[in-house]
Amino acid sequence: MTKTVIAVGGHIGDMELTAGPTLAKMVLEGARAIIVDCTWGERGHPLLTPTEYREQKLHEGRFFADAIGAEFVALDYSDGFLPDDEAVAEQIAQIIRESKPDVMITHWIKSMHRDHVNAAKAALRGAFLASIPIEGEPLARHSVPSILHAENWEDMEGFEADTFVPIPDEAFDRWLAGISEHAFARGETYGFRFIDYYSALMQVKGCLVGHQRACAFKNAGTEKFALAGP
């Protein structure tokens, strides 16, 4: 049976960077992958106006999804203003009810970025809402069997990896081709060498599990009950 994986990120580029290699690998194995970015990250460029960067970010998100064979959904929340509310969670829940994912990947719940925290909360709450009966909801409920937090240098407080996914060369190459289109990942916005960091991180994690490359994740645990209900 075809697997489905959904990745929920705060800004266009977050899940592409961190979950992207794993999504590329799963697509190569026949899975359906859906990237859901809650904001477009349009305020993240020191020179371009949000209006200019917004269109570029949308292009970058679509380019990446095409490069790895994923679907791309950009919710239209304002960068830096992603609310922590039921409306965002219900949008995620709707996508979960429709696509019935086997795996959901999102940010860790602690981050230097509020949008990352709120995206993680929306993803966890969305998974909860999708799993329970709701009066008047026409779609069948769906419980996501596996929820993983991706390793991200911006979300490291208390993050302890417990799951490692080997990344084959072809998946890495597709990830690199797609992420290289993202200006921020090339270090052109605030200078952090994202592509070098995550390429090296995959080598380091690969060493730990006996593969050339791997990505690390943390299984969602009891934190999801406190954040997302019941």
Binding site for Zn ion (CB under 5 A): 10-11, 14
Q: How many helices (H) and strands (E) does the chain have?
A: 8, 7
Closer CB to Zn ion, 4 or 152, in the complex: 152
Rounded CA separation 162/33 (Å): 22
Which letter, b or e, does each residue of 48-82 get, where b requires 16 or more Cβ atoms within 10 Å of its Cβ? bebeebbebbbebbebbbebbbbebbbbebebbeb
- Closest residue (Cβ) to Zn ion? 11
Shortest Cβ distance from residue 207 to Zn ion (Å)? 27
The number of residues making up the chain comes to 230
Shortest Cβ distance from residue 46 to Zn ion (Å)? 16
Closer CB to Zn ion, 132 or 156, in the complex: 156
Shortest Cβ distance from residue 169 to Zn ion (Å)? 27
Amino acid symbol at 70: A
Residue written as tokens 């909360």?
A: 121
Closer CB to Zn ion, 128 or 159, in the complex: 159
Closer CB to Zn ion, 151 or 206, in the complex: 151
Shortest Cβ distance from residue 11 to Zn ion (Å)? 4
